[in-house]
Chains A and B, each alone.
Chain A
Amino acid sequence: MKTRIYVTLKNGVLDPQGKAIHHALEGLGFGGVNDVRAGKLIELDLDDSVTTADIERMCQQLLANTVIENFRIEPVAG
């Protein structure tokens, strides 16, 4: 079973990386980009015995730093 963890910066937390990407897009001439936020995608290949609660704990204890980041757990079909 594959599960994807999306880790994103909380609203209001300054994202210098997103800002740099935004500048680079503008430099390439792409208009209409209002804001860019960069995050992480972590893909886990899990045994069936691993519960959602287990994944939640993985996120809380390591995969995200909940001081500055939010996470979203998304099972991958197939």
Chain B
Amino acid sequence: MKTAVIVFPGSNCDRDMAVALEQVTGKAPAMIWHRESELPEGVDFIALPGGFSYGDYLRCGAISARSPIITAVKAAADRGVRVLGVCNGFQVLTEAGMLPGALMRNATMNFICRDVSLTVANNNSDFTRLYQAGEQVNFPVAHHDGNFNADADTLDRLEGEGRVAFRYTTPINGAARDIAGILSEKRNVLGMMPHPERMIEPAHGGNDGRRLFESVLAAL
């Protein structure tokens, strides 16, 4: 599996993502600076990492979503390449219009940094296939703006089409319908606030995140 991690100014989980991808695939990902306009030939999986790109100026992910590389990421997603956006990466995907809704300031106004329980809401995707539907997993979160928001029609559509991949088992940040992660219409783009790449070996306190990457590997 050929993987790439997009690096924005202010990304800070890009190396965590690279370690996770290398552990699971046996091959280091290509690290792609956001000013690039092309992705490596034949890339199978693109990760947009967490962090505080551009210092969260204007809106979280807003400026990164207009980076030159995003045009290439969109084109790749249209071809069916799997794209994962974690935390700031999720914010970039919504700002780029690749996923619906928006991530707003946590309803509690707190920065939340801890492990949380998630429920696998849908395992019918290349990212979640190795989980059981309804299974509870523990992933860390570290965000100030993870409060997923969309209009009622969009939320109904996401739920009706089985595009909610993960929910918070108990509400943490005010996200509509406890949504923690959503899939694109073609199910090859996943955006989520919790960090699977920080839960891949026992030293992390668990390895529930590992199966997400193994699911993608198994799908290819």
The interface centre, meaning the residue of A13, A61, A62 with most chain B CB atoms within 10 A of its CB, is A62
Residues from chain B with Cβ under 8 Å of A20 in the complex: 109
Chain B proximity of A41: nearest CB distance (Å) = 13
**Alpha-carbon separation in the docked complex, A17 to B145 (Å):** 12
Q: Mark A8-19, 1 if CB is under 8 A from B, else 0.
A: 000001101101
Contact B105 A16 (CB under 8 A): yes
Measured between beta carbons, the chain B residues less than 8 angstroms from A61 are 66
A67/B58 in contact, CB under 8 A: no
CA–CA, A65 and B149, complex, Å: 12
Contact between A16 and B62, CB atoms less than 8 A apart: no
Q: Assess the A65–B95 pair: CB atoms within 8 A.
A: yes
Q: Residue A55 at the B interface, CB < 8 A?
A: no
Flag whether B219 is at the interface (Cβ < 8 A): no
Chain A residue at minimum C-beta to C-beta distance from B145: A16
Question: Does more than half of chain B's interface fall in helix, strand or loop, or is it mixed?
Answer: loop
How many residues from A make CB contacts under 8 Å with B?
Answer: 12
Report the nearest B residue to A20, measured CB to CB. B109
State whether A67 and B109 are in contact (beta carbons under 8 Å apart), knowing that A14-B104, A14-B174, A62-B62 are contacts in the complex: no
Known interface pairs A62-B62, A62-B66. Does A14 touch B107 (Cβ–Cβ under 8 Å)? yes
> Which of B104, B106, B108: most chain A Cβ within 10 A?
B104
Chain B interfacial residues counted at CB < 8 A: 20
**CA–CA, A19 to B104, complex, Å?**
14
* Bound CA–CA A14/B147 (angstroms): 10
- Quick check: is A68 within 8 A (CB to CB) of the other chain? yes
For B102, give its contact among A16, A17, A62, A67 (CB under 8 Å). A67
The interface residues of chain A lying within 8 Å CB-to-CB of B95 are: 65
A-side interface mostly: helix
With A13-B104, A14-B104, A14-B174 already in contact, the answer to whether A65 and B109 are too (CB < 8 A) is no
Which residues of chain A are within 8 angstroms of B171 by Cβ–Cβ distance? Answer: none
Instruction: Identify which of A17, A62, A63, A67 contacts B105 (C-beta below 8 A).
Output: A17
* B63 proximity list for chain A (CB < 8 A): 62
CB distance from B61 to the nearest CB of A (A): 10
Chain B residues within 8 Å of A, Cβ to Cβ = 58-59, 62-63, 66, 94-95, 100-102, 104-109, 147, 149-150, 174
Name A's B-contacting residues (CB within 8 A). 13-14, 16-17, 19-20, 61-63, 65, 67-68
Q: List 13 A-B contacts (CB under 8 A).
A: A14-B104, A14-B107, A14-B149, A16-B106, A19-B109, A62-B62, A62-B66, A65-B62, A65-B95, A65-B102, A67-B94, A68-B104, A68-B149
